Amino acid sequence: MGQVFAQETVNLEMMHRIKNEGMRNSQIQDLSFHLTDFLGPRLSGSTNLRNARNWTAEKFKEWGLSNVKIDTYGEFGRGWDVKKAYIAMKEPYYAQIIGYPKAWTDGTNGLVSDEVMLIEISSDADFDKYRGKLKGKVVMTPANLTVNPAFEAEARRWTDEELENRKTIPVGNMPSRWTPEQMAQMRTARELDAKLNAFLLEEQVGLRLTGTRGSFGTVFHTRSGSFSTDKKVTVPEMEIAAEHYGRIYRLIKNGKKVSIEAEIDVQWLDDDYAGYNVIAEIPGTDRTLKPEIVMLGGHLDSWHAGTGANDNAAGVVVMMEAIRILKALDVQPKRTIRIALWGEEEQGLYGSRGYVQKYVADRATKEKKGEWDKISAYYNLDNGSGKIRGIYLEGNDMLVPIFEKWFEPFHEMGANTITRRSTGSTDHVAFDAVGVPGFQFIQDPIDYGKGYHTNMDVYERMQFGDMTQAAIIIAAMVYNTSERAEKLPRKPW
């Protein structure tokens, strides 16, 4: 047993107090209601996200946190709000369609009512078949959407065996998922798709219908338009439920006429192109360690057709609750504790990367900035509302004995897996990329994969019991990091 391990101590009385505060005075459910039902979907740049920044900042002030600010990291792009969206089939009979405008798509200028044209492009030559014929038309392109019955449970928790497996790390080169031939085919398809997008725009198509994965009324969604400030106009585009897409597609392929009526009304917001993070602190109290920082956070933005509940109101609520617990306990931390609610994560980690670029380090030039050697750790939550089962160490071997010790008081809550593995796609990578310890926790998946990035990522998806556990553990991790004699050991950068 090495010296590092021997040094680690855990203030068990504080762990006990954190558990009590988290269990007895939990604000999880009320915060969840406000972040989802009340504030609504929080697409980057949208009015709702602006409201969410203000609301969370006010809540931090109400709790007595310090240095609360809505902090810009630079430019993001245009805001976009949906003012109205409607789509239905008119022929061969009237039928409502579940469909949503893709993010940043343009409006239709009123109700469009027209036959649906199926555009089948498999080579460059196919464009000529349609050239000059699509102005104002409703079009759809083929999609291969397979919908199968769910013979396996759609929600689950990690088993002990699966958690144990998450500790193993593959050694050696991973085989490529694709053959060179497959990769060439995919490249060709992508190029053709880009040409198709340009063609539809040039032809001034009135509305494009796209199918999405998901089934039974759940619609996954993305963006088609652009938030770029050059104000490029995009074709109005709606993503519709796989089954409704399939119905229209099959009818047309069988020679039946399909007509639809649809309307998209959007509002562009061009008064402020900046991106923002919401920041608040519990100032450190140790004369020496006070300038050092322990960070926790999650992204405040979401996609637009649900209310961004599991992705990522859940992470925001848990992190807010964690800092609320520490503030309520008046912990007087040695280091400063700082929460950050990131903007624009869904469009490419803008908020966290912008913060890192502004305050921590330049990833490209390796230039270190003021906070680079101040931040001990950044803790992130962004894998839904499932409880914490452990933590990914991003390959940092030196942390194993520390975190093993820190997790001990939470074994009975189901959290005991310390893995050297890395995990991707959340805001912690912005910190890890510049050598500052950044972490995402191992969370039970529940039905995260079924609902995230869909119209059904809403309040009902959130597991409040799980989130209560997560807030307690994160409060503990943040507290331990703030009190530790040294900052957490780092990988070389």
* Chain contacts with a second copy (rule: CB under 8 A): 33, 36-38, 40-41, 47-48, 81-86, 88, 92-96, 98, 100, 147, 149-156, 215-219, 241-243, 246-247, 250-251, 254, 256, 305, 307, 446-447, 450-451, 455-456, 458-461, 463
Whether the CB-CB separation of 227 and 44 falls below 8 Å is answered with yes
At closest approach, how far in Å is the CB of 43 from a second copy?
11
The sign one gets for the Cα dihedral 440, 322, 327, 49 is positive
At closest approach, how far in Å is the CB of 51 from a second copy?
8
- Using the minimum distance from each CB to a second copy, give the nearer residue, 26 or 480: 26
Rounded Cα distance, 158 and 153, in Å: 13
At closest approach, how far in Å is the CB of 21 from a second copy?
24
At closest approach, how far in Å is the CB of 385 from a second copy?
10
β-pair type (112-118, 259-269): antiparallel
> Across 124-164, where does the E strand assignment appear?
138-140
At closest approach, how far in Å is the CB of 458 from a second copy?
5
- Using the minimum distance from each CB to a second copy, give the nearer residue, 8 or 265: 265
Whether the CB-CB separation of 264 and 240 falls below 8 Å is answered with no
For 447, the token pair is 């039905």
* Cβ partners under 8 Å of residue 449, min gap 6: 154
The sign one gets for the Cα dihedral 390, 429, 475, 449 is negative
At closest approach, how far in Å is the CB of 280 from a second copy?
24
At closest approach, how far in Å is the CB of 161 from a second copy?
17
- Using the minimum distance from each CB to a second copy, give the nearer residue, 455 or 480: 455
At 13, the amino acid letter reads E
Largest CA distance in the chain: 78
CA angle (219 as vertex; 213, 222 as ends), nearest 5: 80
- Using the minimum distance from each CB to a second copy, give the nearer residue, 216 or 493: 216
Q: Which residue has the tokens 């005075």?
A: 25
